[in-house]
Amino acid sequence: MAKTNDFDVRTLGTRASQDLEAVFSKLEPSQLETLSQELLSARRIVCYGVGREGLMMEAIAMRLMHAGFKSYVVGEMVTPPVGAGDVFFTSAGPGHFPTIETLLKVAREAGGRTVTMTAQPARAAQMPVDVVIHLPAQTMVDVTTGLSVLTMGTHYEAALLLFGDLLILRLLELTNQKREDMYTRYTNMK
């Protein structure tokens, strides 16, 4: 059994932070602008992801609501149907999930715009998606490349969460809001 002091959490934490920094150094700024414009033009935004990516998309949906957008999560009882004027916003880090492909098709057939965040843009573009946003991070499908010290798909998932918060900062700027405005939409039902 390893001694507790053999595990260097500081060094690993620094390496994980550097791994995330590398994502944003490779990210094309136009990706954030494209996504911002899609969401600004949406009547409603319905978010979805599978597994841990789904949890990150739920966090992004919550922040979108705090920023004054009508945002929802697939599977919640109050989520309306996607239709014309709406954006169905998904995450498919590895580029494809059968569930996401099916839901993209449903959203598109109902007249909604479809947007997918992914680390594998060529693969994601094969799904029924209007806009592909490339987040260059390690996912479950490319763990053998040794890009990150983080396990499995954590590199992509952490980058997705951080990208989501950067997206909110940009949307606040584009809608002439202050960060403090978000607190007016924060729940008082605790």
- pTM, entire model: 0.91
pLDDT band at 2 (very low <50, low <70, confident <90, very high): low
The domain spans of the chain are 26-180
pLDDT band at 146 (very low <50, low <70, confident <90, very high): low
**Burial per residue of 48-65, b for 16 or more beta-carbon CB atoms within 10 angstroms, e otherwise:** bbbebbbebbbbbbbbbb
pLDDT band at 150 (very low <50, low <70, confident <90, very high): low
The neighbouring-strand residues paired with 71 are 45
CATH architecture group of domain 26-180:
3-Layer(aba) Sandwich (3.40)
Instruction: Summarize the confidence of residues 171-175 as an average pLDDT.
Output: 96
* Distance (Å, whole) CA 92 – CA 85: 22
Sign of CA dihedral 94, 100, 101, 107: negative
pLDDT at 156 over 80: yes
* Distance (Å, whole) CA 109 – CA 90: 16
The pLDDT value given to residue 88? 98
Question: Please, is 124 exposed, middle or buried when counting C-beta atoms within 10 Å of its C-beta (0-12, 13-18, 19+)?
Answer: buried
pLDDT at 125 over 90: yes
pLDDT tens string 42-95: 999 999 999 999 999 999 999 999 999 999 999 999 999 999 999 999 999 999
